[in-house]
C-alpha cells in the first residue's frame, strides 16, 4: 500500500514534469490531482514559485487544464528496478488540433534520482501534435530530456544542445511523420521506437522505423545525465493530452476508445524491455496503469505484449 502510493507519486512526478516541460508555462493547473505524499508537496512548492515567476513575465499560467494520462509504468526505485531500454510499435494518426491543445504518445525511461524533483533524470520519445510549438497540426517525432527535473536542463528535440544526430539518420527530432493513418478503420501506419542504453558507450540511443525495422537516428550522450548515466529505474509508455481550460481535450491515439477494438483504437504492439546486454524480452505481464479519466481516454491491460489506447477527448 505504502509502496503503491510512492509509485504513483513517482510516475506522477515524471509525467507532470514532462507535461510542464513540453507545455512551458502551464504550471498551476496540474497541481490538484497529485497530493498523496511528501514528495508531491515539494513539487507543489516549486511549482508555485515558478508560477509566480511566470505571472511576473505576464504569462497566464492558469489557462491550461490538467493533463489526462493513459499510461503503463513499471515499479521504480526497488532493487529489481533496473532498466536499460524499451521497444514498442505504435500507430500514428493525424488530427485537427487548435493552438491550446496537445496530444502525445510516448515512451519514457526515467531515473527518479534520490526522490527530490531536481534529481529526476528523464528521456522521452514519441509522436505528438502540438500546434503551439510547431505552427501546424501534423504529428511530429519528438524527443525530450532532463537531468534535473526540468529545472535548468533539457528541451524538446534539437531546441538545445543534447541530442546528437547520427550520420544518415532517416528523421530528425521535430520532423513531421508521414504518411499517417487515416480515418479509423482505414490503413494504419505505425512507427517502431527503441530507446536503449548502449552497453559500451553508455549513451542512450534512439531508434525509429516507419512501418518497419527501426534504425538509429541519434543518441543522448551518457555525459548529459547523472543517474541515467548508469541505468534507468523506471520506464513507462502511453499517451497524454492537454488543453486550455476553455477548450475540450483533443483526441488521443486514433480518437477511438480501446473498446473500439484493434484496427480502430490505436495500439502498442511488440512491447519489450531491453536488458543491460541489449537483449529484448517481451512484456508479458500487465503493468500498473495510470488513467486520469477512462471515459475520455484509456488504455487496456497488456495482453501478448500488446495493448490498445486512446479516446475521443472532449473532457473539459
Ligand X SMILES: *[C@@H]1O[C@H](CO)[C@@H](O)[C@H](O)[C@H]1NC(C)=O
C-alpha cell at 53: 515567476
> What minimum distance in Å lies between the beta carbon of 195 and ligand X?
17
Residue 103 near ligand X by CB under 6 A: no
Q: CB under 8 Å, gap of 24 or more: what pairs does 298-304 form?
A: 298/70, 298/257, 298/258, 299/70, 299/71, 299/72, 299/238, 299/239, 299/258, 300/258, 302/72, 302/271
Residue 82 near ligand X by CB under 6 A: no
> What minimum distance in Å lies between the beta carbon of 210 and ligand X?
8
Residue 46 near ligand X by CB under 6 A: no
Residues 261-290 that bind ligand X (CB under 6 A): 269-270
**From residue 262, how far is each of 95, 240, 266 by CA, in Å?**
19, 20, 7
Nearer to ligand X, 40 or 306 (CB): 306
User: E-assigned strands of 40-111?
Assistant: 68-73, 85-91, 101-111
Residue 304 near ligand X by CB under 6 A: no
Residue ranges in 104-239 assigned as alpha helix (H): 131-134
> What minimum distance in Å lies between the beta carbon of 262 and ligand X?
9
Give the whole-angstrom CA distance, residue 309 versus residue 316.
Answer: 19
Residue 254 near ligand X by CB under 6 A: no
Nearer to ligand X, 190 or 300 (CB): 190
Residue 66 near ligand X by CB under 6 A: no
Residue 190 near ligand X by CB under 6 A: yes
Nearer to ligand X, 35 or 304 (CB): 304
> What minimum distance in Å lies between the beta carbon of 91 and ligand X?
7
Q: Count the residues in the chain.
A: 316
Residue 211 near ligand X by CB under 6 A: yes
Q: Are 108 and 89 in contact (CB under 8 A)?
A: no
Instruction: Give, for 43, the enclosing helix (H) or strand (E).
Output: helix 38-56
Residue 201: CB partners within 8 Å, gap ≥ 6? 219, 222
> What minimum distance in Å lies between the beta carbon of 263 and ligand X?
10
Nearer to ligand X, 47 or 191 (CB): 191
> What minimum distance in Å lies between the beta carbon of 188 and ligand X?
6
Q: Using the rule CB under 6 A, which residue among 22, 66, 73, 89 binds ligand X? A: 89
Place of cell 500500500: 1
Nearer to ligand X, 1 or 213 (CB): 213
C-alpha cell at 260: 473500439
Interface with ligand X (CB under 6 A), residue total 5
Residue 121 near ligand X by CB under 6 A: no
Under the rule (CB under 6 A), what is the footprint of ligand X? 89, 190, 211, 269-270
Amino acid at each position: 500500500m505504502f509502496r503503491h502510493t510512492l509509485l504513483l507519486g513517482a510516475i506522477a512526478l515524471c509525467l507532470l514534469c514532462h507535461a510542464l516541460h513540453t507545455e512551458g508555462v502551464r504550471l498551476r493547473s496540474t497541481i490538484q490531482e497529485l497530493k498523496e505524499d511528501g514528495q508531491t508537496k515539494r513539487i507543489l512548492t516549486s511549482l508555485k514559485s515558478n508560477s509566480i515567476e511566470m505571472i511576473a513575465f505576464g504569462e497566464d499560467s492558469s489557462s491550461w487544464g490538467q493533463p489526462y494520462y493513459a499510461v503503463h509504468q513499471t515499479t521504480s526505485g526497488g532493487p529489481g528496478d533496473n532498466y536499460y531500454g524499451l521497444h514498442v510499435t505504435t500507430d500514428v494518426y493525424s488530427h485537427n488540433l487548435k493552438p491550446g491543445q496537445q496530444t502525445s504518445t510516448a515512451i519514457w525511461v526515467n531515473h527518479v534520482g534520490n526522490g527530490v524533483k531536481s534529481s529526476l533524470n528523464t528521456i522521452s520519445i514519441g509522436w505528438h501534435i502540438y500546434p503551439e510549438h510547431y505552427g501546424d497540426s501534423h504529428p511530429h517525432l519528438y524527443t525530450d530530456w532532463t537531468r534535473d527535473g526540468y529545472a535548468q536542463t533539457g528541451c524538446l528535440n534539437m531546441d538545445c544542445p543534447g541530442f546528437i544526430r547520427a550520420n544518415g539518420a532517416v528523421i530528425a527530432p521535430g520532423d513531421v511523420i508521414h504518411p499517417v493513418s487515416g480515418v479509423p478503420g482505414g490503413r494504419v501506419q505505425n512507427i517502431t521506437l527503441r530507446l536503449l542504453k548502449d552497453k559500451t558507450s553508455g549513451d542512450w540511443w534512439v531508434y525509429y522505423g516507419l512501418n518497419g525495422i527501426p534504425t538509429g537516428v541519434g543518441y543522448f550522450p551518457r555525459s548529459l545525465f547523472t543517474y541515467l548515466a548508469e541505468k534507468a529505474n523506471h520506464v513507462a509508455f502511453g499517451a497524454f493530452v492537454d488543453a486550455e481550460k476553455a477548450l475540450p481535450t483533443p483526441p488521443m491515439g486514433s480518437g477511438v476508445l480501446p473498446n473500439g477494438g484493434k484496427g480502430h483504437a490505436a495500439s502498442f504492439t511488440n512491447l519489450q524491455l531491453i536488458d543491460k546486454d541489449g537483449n529484448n524480452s517481451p512484456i508479458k505481464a500487465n503493468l500498473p496503469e495510470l488513467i486520469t479519466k477512462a471515459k475520455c481516454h484509456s488504455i487496456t491491460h497488456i495482453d501478448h505484449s500488446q495493448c490498445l489506447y486512446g479516446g475521443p477527448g472532449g473532457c473539459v
